[in-house]
Structure 1
Amino acid sequence: MAEVVQVQKRDGSLGTAASRRLRKTGNVPAVLYGHKQGNEHLSISQKTIESILRHHSKIVELQGAVSETALVSDLQFDPLGIEVLHIDLQRVDMNEKVVVSVPIQFKGEPAGGKLGGIAIENAHEVEIECPAVAIPDSLRLVVTSVGLGDNRFASDLVLPENITLVTPGDTIVYHVEKPKGLKEDEEEGAEAEGDEA
């Protein structure tokens, strides 16, 4: 179910100074756009924004100054990546298809890791296209079979029905790097050497 978000209309003053003043009152500027309708300049409380972040909400039900279903399309953070400075909301119909970024959950310990390899998460999310009503919280990738020097690609993700991968399938999302100095014929003995260390 979409998270309910209370919004207020912003007064006529827009721009950087007005946005700064708004943030000092504990609110964050937002803009609602799309569906060939005019842009709505809104404000959302900082606490509500924190809830959206905590729940990784993609679709929200706007109430208050406007009543709309919207996609959280962009969050602009301060240079330290802590405070949300602005939020972009896109009007959606729950059955229309949208393109969104979804986090990847890596499950298991890679086989190559047990041989001294270094597991590297090359991508933490991928872009998908799906109906707004069917946006998943995350996509799982089981990595237990990833050996030394092996990769897993975006195309290895198992996608639920009605979901299409937008990120190129050959994008490496996970890799187990061989330790420096380990030669091909030494890989078999790497586990024993690791036990001695």
Structure 2
Amino acid sequence: MTDVIQATKRDSTGTAATIRLRRAGNVPAVLYGHGEANEHLSISADQIRGLLRHHSKTIKLTGDVNETALVSDMQWDALGIEVLHLDLIRVNLKEKVEVTVTIETHGEAPGTREGGIFLENIREVDVRCSAGAIPDSLVLDINELHLDEHATAADLQLPEGVELITDPESVIAHIEAPRAEVAAEEEGVADGAEPEVISKGGGEGEEDEEA
């Protein structure tokens, strides 16, 4: 998805100007790339929140600038609630870019009905595709995931034209037996183990000596 964002050019870039900008309900941003001069911009916080809700990676800037840009980086406050700064890279929608995309799990893992616990190991992967075809998320189908089984990045459903960069063998999610159950099984094995028989000397040698 490509959001349309209204942007205003900033004349002042100092700390005091940035503080005033944020107090007015705006977020400072920098647009760069393609060998052109950097543009210091101001974008309303409401538009940034909409961008986050849509999980958009590319945006169409209007207003004082008319560019298509890729959201390169977001700087958050200490609590991870508000976006403090935005880095934007100029792109052509047809050019290849490398981005990080979130993972969505679909379905119900049968392993949870078998007494297991569903655990997610990673929630994002890196992909390469054209800037105009960046997926909002990638789907992992867990309908066939049983107890003690795992799903890897290779199991993700990739749209046409999207190439996986993350190691395909990276484990995304797995079904694990409850720890108490695993501990009980290990204890049972230890209690039921037969003692090891250690022979004294060579048995055959003793028989030969008696003979």
TM-score bracket for the superposition, by shorter chain length: 0.7 to 0.9
CA distance in 2, matches of 1:17, 1:120: 45
CA distance in 2, matches of 1:18, 1:155: 47
CA distance in 2, matches of 1:63, 1:154: 37
- 1:98 paired with 2:97, answer yes
CA distance in 2, matches of 1:15, 1:105: 40
Following TM superposition, by how much is the alpha carbon of 1:38 offset from its aligned partner in structure 2, in angstroms? 1.6
Give the paired residue count: 183
Consecutive aligned runs of 4 or more in structure 1 exceeding 3 Å deviation? none
Aligned twin of 1:118: 117
Q: 1:16 to 1:147 in 2, by over 3 A?
A: farther
Q: Normalised by the size of structure 1, how large is the TM-score? A: 0.87
Q: Which amino acid aligns with 2:133?
A: A
Identity %: 54
RMSD, aligned α-carbons: 1.5
Unaligned runs of 5+ in 2: 186-211
Following TM superposition, by how much is the alpha carbon of 1:22 offset from its aligned partner in structure 2, in angstroms? 1.0
The Cα offsets for residues 138-183 of structure 1, whole Å up to 9 and x where unpaired, read as 1111112112221111111121221111112121111111112435
Aligned twin of 1:14: 13
Following TM superposition, by how much is the alpha carbon of 1:78 offset from its aligned partner in structure 2, in angstroms? 0.7
Aligned twin of 1:83: 82
Q: Which amino acid aligns with 1:58?
A: K
The Cα offsets for residues 67-95 of structure 1, whole Å up to 9 and x where unpaired, read as 10001111111111111100111100010
Q: Normalised by the size of structure 2, how large is the TM-score? A: 0.82
Aligned twin of 1:177: 176
CA distance in 2, matches of 1:178, 1:37: 55
Larger Rg: 2
CA distance in 2, matches of 1:172, 1:17: 46
Aligned twin of 1:69: 68
CA distance in 1, matches of 2:157, 2:51: 26
CA distance in 1, matches of 2:133, 2:82: 29
- 1:158 paired with 2:144, answer no
Unaligned runs of 5+ in 1: 187-197
Following TM superposition, by how much is the alpha carbon of 1:45 offset from its aligned partner in structure 2, in angstroms? 0.6
User: SS of the counterpart of 2:181?
Assistant: coil
Following TM superposition, by how much is the alpha carbon of 1:40 offset from its aligned partner in structure 2, in angstroms? 0.8
User: SS of the counterpart of 1:182?
Assistant: helix
- 1:2 paired with 2:14, answer no
User: SS of the counterpart of 2:179?
Assistant: coil
User: SS of the counterpart of 1:173?
Assistant: strand
Q: 1:16 to 1:154 in 2, by over 3 A?
A: farther
CA distance in 1, matches of 2:139, 2:45: 31
Aligned twin of 1:194: none
Following TM superposition, by how much is the alpha carbon of 1:128 offset from its aligned partner in structure 2, in angstroms? 0.7
